[in-house]
Amino acid sequence: MAPNWPHFLFFFQLFVRLFVDENLDRLVPISKQPKDKVQAILEACNRQFVEFHERARKRIRTYLKSCRRMRRCKDSNGVEQVGILLYTLVVRLEVNRKRV
């Protein structure tokens, strides 16, 4: 095990995120990514962080999954907000009609 384990893990995860952001499409699963790019990231991780060589592929997969989840949350929140806005406008229109 490496000294200062949490710090090494943090920097490993940061390293993976940066490489994935630069080289892969974050909205596509790891199985659909170009194999040569994934392999290049895995090799870079193995060179920089030998102690995490078993975790590298899983970390890439987890990060890509997280990116897709975050995208879905942002998309669904936008739809919900638009729905709430439309509902508020309809209620105001009905209140204004009753006043007239």
Contact in structure between 26 and 18 (CB atoms under 8 Å): no
CA–CA gap between residue 39 and residue 45 (Å, rounded): 10
pLDDT of 36: 97
Asked if residues 38 and 60 have their Cβ atoms less than 8 Å apart, the reply is yes
- For residue 72, the tally of other CB atoms under 10 A from its CB is 11
| pLDDT of residue 5 exceeding 60 | yes
Q: Label residue 70 by pLDDT band (50, 70, 90).
A: confident
What is the distance, to the nearest Å, from the Cα of residue 43 to the centroid of all Cα atoms in its chain?
A: 22
Asked whether residue 53 carries a pLDDT value surpassing 80, the answer given is yes
Average of pLDDT values for 50-58?
93
pLDDT at 7: 82
How confident is the model over 87-95, as a mean pLDDT? 59
Q: Is the pLDDT score of 45 beyond 70?
A: yes
Task: Provide mean pLDDT across the span 58-74.
Answer: 88
pLDDT value at residue 52: 92
Q: How far apart are CA 94 and CA 87, in angstroms?
A: 11
Q: Residue 86 is encoded by which pair of tokens?
A: 């439309």
